[in-house]
Amino acid sequence: MGLVTLTYKRPPDRVNYFQQELLYLDDDVIVTSQRVNPSSPIIQNGETVLADNFAAVWFVFTGLWYDVGKIYNLNNEWTGYYCDIMKPVKRRINTAGELDCFEITDLFLDLWVNPDGSYEIQDEDEFEEAIQNGAIDTELEIKAREILDALIDKVEEGHLDSLLQEVFDRARLPDLQDYVEKLL
């Protein structure tokens, strides 16, 4: 479908721009892909599950306060889900009616979900620092914690996989493991 620009904001004033391949778009979700370069790797049970040049297929849901990245290692093996707690996505449509850009505002808290359903909260220290520095106000702090708790409930109930499966079925996405092998 082409490239789309992600405007990634992090309070109080950090803004980055990322080019991602647009895989699917409807009123409910934007699905993109990219190779990632995280600020630090994530290691679970002695294995690196997220690191430089791993592939991510992102599911950014309209109206939800989180996104989900399905992560693949350098051998194109699925290592888990990376979920960002964030403000709902904003879309910018160009004059041709196509998605030109989308914007997310990251709220620091993240959730790593292993293929076996176990999980680990990420970046709590950064979240606390943002609260102390005034980058996150009390209302947003409460909302971010509520969303994280609701997302954990969804993971524990097995509903995260079913949410993504609905998108796969609707979008008729290709086998992602085959797809990420070709991802630059």
- One digit per residue, the tens of pLDDT, for the chain of length 184 reads 688 999 999 999 999 999 999 988 999 999 999 999 888 899 998 999 999 999 999 999 999 999 999 999 999 899 999 999 999 999 988 777 778 899 999 999 999 999 999 999 999 999 999 999 999 999 999 999 999 999 999 999 999 988 888 888 888 776 665 666 665 4
Tokens 């989900």 belong to which residue?
68
Write down the pLDDT at residue 39. Answer: 85
Find the radius of gyration of the CA atoms of the chain. Answer: 16
Q: Which CATH class is domain 3-177?
A: mainly beta
Neighbours of 154 (CB within 10 A): 18
Report how far residue 42's alpha carbon sits from residue 63's, in angstroms, rounded to the nearest whole number: 28
Residue type, 147: I
Task: List the domain boundaries for the chain.
Answer: 3-177
From residue 91, give the alpha-carbon distance in Å to each of 4, 77, 99, 103, 162: 11, 31, 7, 6, 25
Contact status, residue 35 vs residue 48, Cβ threshold 8 Å? no
Q: What is the torsional sign of CA 32, 85, 149, 88?
A: negative
Contact status, residue 29 vs residue 60, Cβ threshold 8 Å? yes
Whole-prediction pTM: 0.91
Contact status, residue 37 vs residue 50, Cβ threshold 8 Å? no
